[in-house]
Amino acid sequence: MIVLKSKREIELMKASGEIAAAALHLAGEKVKPGVSTLELDNIIKRYIVSQGAEPSFFNYGGFPGNSCISVNNVVIHGIPSKDLILKRGDIVSIDVGAFYRGFHGDTAFTFKCGDVSEEIQGLLDTTYGALEKGIEKALCGNKIGDISSAIQEYVESRNCSVVTDFVGHGVGVDLHEDPSVPNYGKAHFGPLLEAGVTIAIEPMVILGSSGDVEVLDDDWTTVSTSGEYSAHFEHTVAVTENGPVILTKV
């Protein structure tokens, strides 16, 4: 069941979203060679707690971190570790949720650790572009499939593949609500978008022709089966009569 949010509730979600976004970009500024992913996670936790909020992902389903930090061929759900030290050329996907005054905000961004190859820059541009294409379709009267197909078509036209095993989602009082927001699908199909629908749109994209993933023995770390690099960008978005509103802006 899709829970529609009132204008007041959307304002509250904006507050949660802004805390998550600020924590994310604070950590992003510290993405440098020699820094561990646990240090980044600690920055995120400290900021979120300093705002009177809670990290949404901490202990979610038993997740052992405050944020998910996924490097290179890790697609999502990387566990922050003191032993994972960033090096030049890495790409670092950080996914942050903040729970504040009863609502979650959920956002992700893939940062570069120094310069990356043209091919990897293409992956980042494609994934960010796919997020923008998806958000453009978050309009009253559209269907979820309009978002999904816009993302898929954009990604597949640029030598990249969408992940199908994991999807975006509704977000609100719960971190994961209805509807699912797949990064693949058909235009004009799926649940109706109306004012008050709040969703996390989050293309997860792998370089090359396969979107297949595998979950490692820790039950979290999700890697590309092909071994290719992966990127992940996410915003929490409210569908309103005035168009899509991004709730996780810095």
Question: For binding to Mg ion (CB under 5 A), which residues are involved?
Answer: 106, 200
Taking the complex as a whole, the smallest distance from the CB of residue 119 to Mg ion amounts, in Å, to 26
Phi, psi of 219 (to 5 degrees): 70, 5
Q: Return the number of the residue (35 or 211) whose C-beta is nearest Mg ion.
A: 211
Taking the complex as a whole, the smallest distance from the CB of residue 87 to Mg ion amounts, in Å, to 27
Q: Return the number of the residue (93 or 126) whose C-beta is nearest Mg ion.
A: 93
Q: Return the number of the residue (35 or 232) whose C-beta is nearest Mg ion.
A: 232
Taking the complex as a whole, the smallest distance from the CB of residue 101 to Mg ion amounts, in Å, to 19
Q: What is the DSSP string of the chain?
A: ------HHHHHHHHHHHHHHHHHHHHHHHT--TT-BHHHHHHHHHHHHHHTT-EETTTTGGG-SSSSEEEETTEEE-PPP-TT-B--TT-EEEEEEEEEETTEEEEEEEEEESS---HHHHHHHHHHHHHHHHHHHT--TT-BHHHHHHHHHHHHHTTTEEE-SSS-EEE-SSSSSEEEEE-SS--TT-SSBP-TT-EEEE--EEEESS---EEE-TTS--EEETT---EEE-BEEEEEETTEEEES---
Taking the complex as a whole, the smallest distance from the CB of residue 237 to Mg ion amounts, in Å, to 11
Q: Return the number of the residue (67 or 224) whose C-beta is nearest Mg ion.
A: 67
Taking the complex as a whole, the smallest distance from the CB of residue 169 to Mg ion amounts, in Å, to 6
Taking the complex as a whole, the smallest distance from the CB of residue 109 to Mg ion amounts, in Å, to 12
Q: Return the number of the residue (35 or 230) whose C-beta is nearest Mg ion.
A: 230
Q: Return the number of the residue (18 or 106) whose C-beta is nearest Mg ion.
A: 106
